[in-house]
Amino acid sequence: MHVKKTAGCNALMAGLVSDDKFDGALSLFNEMNNLGIKGDTMTMVSVLQSCASLGALQQGRWAHDHIIRSRMGINVYLGAALINMYARCGSIEEARQMFDKMPQKDIVSWTAIICGYGMHGLAHFSESLFLQMISSGLRPDAITFVGVLTGFSHNGMVEKGRCYFHKMRDEFGVKPALEHYSCMVDMLGRAGQLKQAEELIRKMHVKLDSIIWGGLLNACKIHKNFKMAERVVPDILKLDPTNAGWHVLMSNIDLCNFWKMGSSRQNETQYERKKVGKTTGVEPD
């Protein structure tokens, strides 16, 4: 009976996680405990995913302790979920400890720690682990490369990023997807290489979404390239005309541009007034 109840709760919890209702998933887990319904590995994977998405480190630690006390046994999937939870909750040290303790490591666990270091901008660690994984005989997948490229992006390591982007396809047969292009656009945008970022987007061989254009638009705002921003806006609105977030960002860019133009005009006016003062011998007020 408990097995059937657990299976039913797992299905409901997985649905809540899929719908991004992470608080609901954790509430269901608490209710299971109150009713004496014993969870299993699938239960705890959903719980850890919820903690990771909410950044709930203390609840994640409690869940880890619950797994140990229940003598559940940590397989590669549960281990990867723990690594991911600790990394996304900001404790990359605990993520690494979990990874090092795992007796067996597959592509899922390697990718979890590589992505963890990547999201924290620790590119040298993620690259080092990537190379160790290759040496162990495992081949990286598409998600592994997202982790590596994210690390390079956060560190401004553009040439390394380009190298791995091409290596992904040429050496490992991983076809670049939207997530990889997004990493490259973010990388180029952070480095101020906006022209190259726009060219990459326009040459992409995958279906575009507004997020990748939005990344470039945000880079335009940071680097004050208002001319490119004007060119990019129609592409975003064509894909996602109702998203309020883009309209806010566009308004902010327009405001920045307005102040920039206003400042330029003010400087020009002051310059002209000084010129007149020097010519006439009368200093302006």
Dump pLDDT digits (tens) for 251-266: 766 655 544 544 444 4
Render 47-116 in DSSP notation, one character per residue.
HHHHHHHHT-HHHHHHHHHHHHHTT----HHHHHHHHHHHHHTT-HHHHHHHHHH-SS--HHHHHHHHHH
* Residue position matching structure tokens 């010519």: 279
Question: Residue 59 and residue 13: Cα distance in Å, rounded?
Answer: 16
Question: Residue 84 and residue 183: Cα distance in Å, rounded?
Answer: 19
End-to-end Cα distance, the chain: 89
Give the pLDDT of residue 274: 47
Task: State yes or no: pLDDT of 52 exceeds 90.
Answer: yes
DSSP percent split of the chain into helix, strand, coil, nearest 5: 75, 0, 25
Task: State yes or no: pLDDT of 279 exceeds 70.
Answer: no
Residues 74 and 61 sit within 8 Å (Cβ to Cβ): no
**227-249: average pLDDT:** 78
Q: Provide φ and ψ at 141, rounded to 5°.
A: -110, -170
Q: Give the burial string for 231-245 (b: 16+ CB within 10 Å, else e).
A: ebbebbbebeeeeee
Q: How confident is the model at residue 149 (pLDDT cuts 50, 70, 90)?
A: very high
Q: How confident is the model at residue 282 (pLDDT cuts 50, 70, 90)?
A: very low
Q: What is the DSSP letter of 206?
A: S
Q: How confident is the model at residue 85 (pLDDT cuts 50, 70, 90)?
A: very high
Task: State yes or no: pLDDT of 4 exceeds 90.
Answer: no
Handedness of CA 159, 178, 45, 18 (dihedral sign): positive
Write down the domain spans for the chain. 1-88
Collapsing DSSP states into helix, strand and coil, what is residue 94?
A: helix
**12-39: average pLDDT:** 95
Question: Residue 164 and residue 160: Cα distance in Å, rounded?
Answer: 6
Q: How confident is the model at residue 271 (pLDDT cuts 50, 70, 90)?
A: very low
Percent of the chain residues past pLDDT 90, beyond the cut: 70
Higher-confidence residue of 203 and 236: namely: 203
Residues 194 and 220 sit within 8 Å (Cβ to Cβ): yes
Higher-confidence residue of 174 and 264: namely: 174
Question: Residue 146 and residue 150: Cα distance in Å, rounded?
Answer: 6
* CA neighbor of 223 nearest in space, from 197, 262, 246, 245: 197
